[in-house]
């Protein structure tokens, strides 16, 4: 499952989308709230979108819920659960990565969303305790046709038109937390692995 994603969304691009969605942003928010990164991994800090009244704010949080003694919870199964009373958020991303192979370095596959400026990953957030920052995890579902050749699970990818559905639950959760149709994602192997059979999508 996903433990690494990319954030190359320009702040101007983000603001343009917020205007299209007719969402308010905090007056003090700036491009510093949407830092770019080639890789955001478990334990790293990344921006998440969360609703605060009528405003959608970008908030820095740590990737993975604390789980003492067992390692952070970075992915969370969505099926059969109700998130109406949970802290729902969206993780803005330009791409996410999946890996194949048993030996290191594993093959690294980059997924992007076709025909959209960027994607959102359906997530949950929790406030931090004491001086610790808040944290987030990514929701998962059964794999769609674009991800199934690589993994038996996938994170829930949202198109920008679905952002409101998830943050405000304007549709049934089961209609939101599902994989996208075939052909929605583009995949490319960006780092070959040791085993040739793992290098599935080298352009």
Q: Is residue 202 one of the residues assigned to a domain? A: no
Output Rg (C-alpha) for the chain, integer angstroms. Answer: 17
| Closest alpha carbon to 162 in 181, 187, 186, 143 | 181
Q: Is residue 36 one of the residues assigned to a domain? A: yes
User: Which residues have CB under 8 Å from 61's CB, separation 6+?
Assistant: 45, 46, 47, 48, 89, 125, 133, 134, 135, 136
pLDDT in tens, the chain (203 residues): 789 999 999 999 999 999 999 999 999 999 999 999 999 999 999 999 999 878 999 999 999 999 988 999 999 999 999 999 999 999 999 999 999 988 888 999 999 999 898 999 999 999 998 888 999 999 999 999 999 999 999 999 999 999 999 999 999 999 999 999 999 999 999 998 876 555 554 43
Tell me, what's the pLDDT at 197?
A: 54
* Angstrom distance (rounded) from CA 45 to CA 118: 19
User: What is the DSSP-derived secondary structure letter of residue 20?
Assistant: H
Q: Is residue 190 one of the residues assigned to a domain? A: no
Q: Is residue 188 one of the residues assigned to a domain? A: no
* Angstrom distance (rounded) from CA 30 to CA 140: 30
Name the pTM for this structure. 0.93
* Angstrom distance (rounded) from CA 45 to CA 24: 24
Using alpha carbons only, what angle is made at residue 151 by residues 81 and 117, rounded to the nearest 5 degrees? Answer: 80
Task: Give me the CATH number covering residue 168.
Answer: 3.90.1680.10
Bridge partner residues of 40 (DSSP): 5
Tell me, what's the pLDDT at 193?
A: 81
Q: Is residue 143 one of the residues assigned to a domain? A: yes
* Angstrom distance (rounded) from CA 148 to CA 179: 10
Q: Is residue 192 one of the residues assigned to a domain? A: no
Bridge partner residues of 52 (DSSP): 55
Q: Is residue 104 one of the residues assigned to a domain? A: no
Number of domains in the chain: 1
Q: Is residue 189 one of the residues assigned to a domain? A: no
Using alpha carbons only, what angle is made at residue 133 by residues 45 and 169, rounded to the nearest 5 degrees? Answer: 80
Q: The domain containing residue 55 runs over which residues?
A: 4-94+118-182
Tell me, what's the pLDDT at 52?
A: 86
């Amino acid at each position: 499952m996903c433990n690494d994603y990319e954030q190359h969304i320009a702040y101007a691009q983000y603001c343009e989308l917020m205007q299209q969605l007719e969402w308010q942003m905090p007056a003090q928010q700036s491009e510093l709230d949407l830092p770019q990164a080639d890789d955001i991994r478990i334990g790293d800090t990344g921006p998440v979108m969360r609703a605060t009244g009528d405003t959608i704010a970008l908030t820095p949080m740590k990737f993975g819920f604390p789980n003492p003694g067992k390692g952070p919870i970075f992915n969370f199964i969505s099926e059969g659960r109700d998130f109406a009373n949970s802290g729902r958020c969206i993780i803005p991303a330009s791409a996410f990565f999946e890996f194949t192979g048993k030996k290191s370095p594993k093959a690294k596959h980059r997924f992007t969303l076709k025909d959209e400026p960027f994607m959102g990953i359906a997530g949950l957030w929790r406030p931090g305790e004491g001086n610790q920052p808040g944290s987030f995890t990514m929701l998962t579902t059964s794999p769609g046709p674009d991800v199934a050749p690589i993994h038996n699970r996938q994170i829930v990818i949202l198109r920008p038109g679905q952002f409101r559905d998830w943050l405000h639950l304007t549709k049934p959760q089961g209609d939101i937390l599902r994989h996208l149709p075939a052909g929605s994602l583009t995949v490319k192997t960006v780092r070959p692995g040791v085993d040739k059979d793992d290098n599935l999508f080298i352009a």
